[in-house]
A and B are shown apart, each in its own frame.
Chain A
Amino acid sequence: ETGVTQTPRHLVMGMTNKKSLKCEQHLGHNAMYWYKQSAKKPLELMFVYNFKEQTENNSVPSRFSPECPNSSHLFLHLHTLQPEDSALYLCASSQDKAGKAFFGQGTRLTVV
């Protein structure tokens, strides 16, 4: 139990589907992140939220849409994904920008 919970753990979706990934942190942190982890590649930062405000969007395609309703919850809305979007999507949180990040267990996404 890391204090960061992601659901679902596994997701298979078709290219025309719409789905959402959810992340919740119980650590009282004020920054939350979405990362993408593909095989043989470093973790790629997708989005950063500080106090519910998006502070970074690392050139992520618009088919990925983040939402942060409060500092404890983070969503990643998915629509019209491509097979190359299949990966492990990791949520993390930290206290302030210099803080060490704590990760959730990830959602293994497969796009068919």
Chain B
Amino acid sequence: GQQLNQSPQSMFIQEGEDVSMNCTSSSIFNTWLWYKQDPGEGPVLLIALYKAGELTSNGRLTAQFGITRKDSFLNISASIPSDVGIYFCAGQPPNTGNQFYFGTGTSLTVIP
């Protein structure tokens, strides 16, 4: 199946710092989604992107659909302790029906 490379695998940052993570694919995608998962819970959708170059914000979170359609970025500004969790990207290639492919996740730790 499709491989999504998500980086970094983990991050340890001080409260108040900004965070950046990204996801890349070897082929183009029509849709990019970003999720956050807390321990013992299911992923929660943060941001959905549908067009190349699209930049969308959700509070302190901003995500971009890469212009090549092969990557996406998620930024978190002024991190707070409740930002702790695992962030997943998911992409949908063209002509694949309901198939979304997920990255391996970025584990974020915020140090107060």
Contact = CB atoms under 8 A, between A and B. Distances in A.
Contact of A103 (B43, B98, B103, B105): B43
Given A40-B104, A43-B88, A100 B45 contact: yes
Nearest to B42: A103
B92 to A, nearest CB: 7
A102 B90 CA distance: 12
A72 to B, nearest CB: 17
Interface string B24-49: 00000011010100001111110010
Interface residues on chain B, size class: 20 to 34
Given A48-B97, A97-B97, A97-B98, A42 B42 contact: no
Nearest to B88: A43
A96 B98 CA distance: 8
Contact of B33 (A41, A97, A101): A101
Interface string B74-106: 000000000000001010100001111111110
Contacts of B4: 42
Contact of A100 (B30, B33, B102, B105): B33
Given A31-B98, A43-B88, A48-B98, A2 B44 contact: yes
Given A43-B88, A98-B31, A105 B42 contact: yes
Interface in B51-71: none
Given A101-B45, A103-B44, A105-B41, 16 more contacts: A2-B44, A41-B104, A42-B4, A42-B102, A42-B104, A43-B88, A43-B102, A48-B98, A94-B98, A97-B98, A100-B31, A100-B45, A101-B90, A104-B42, A105-B40, A108-B40
Interface of A: 2, 4, 6, 31, 33, 40-43, 45, 48, 50, 55-56, 58, 90, 92, 94, 97-98, 100-106, 108
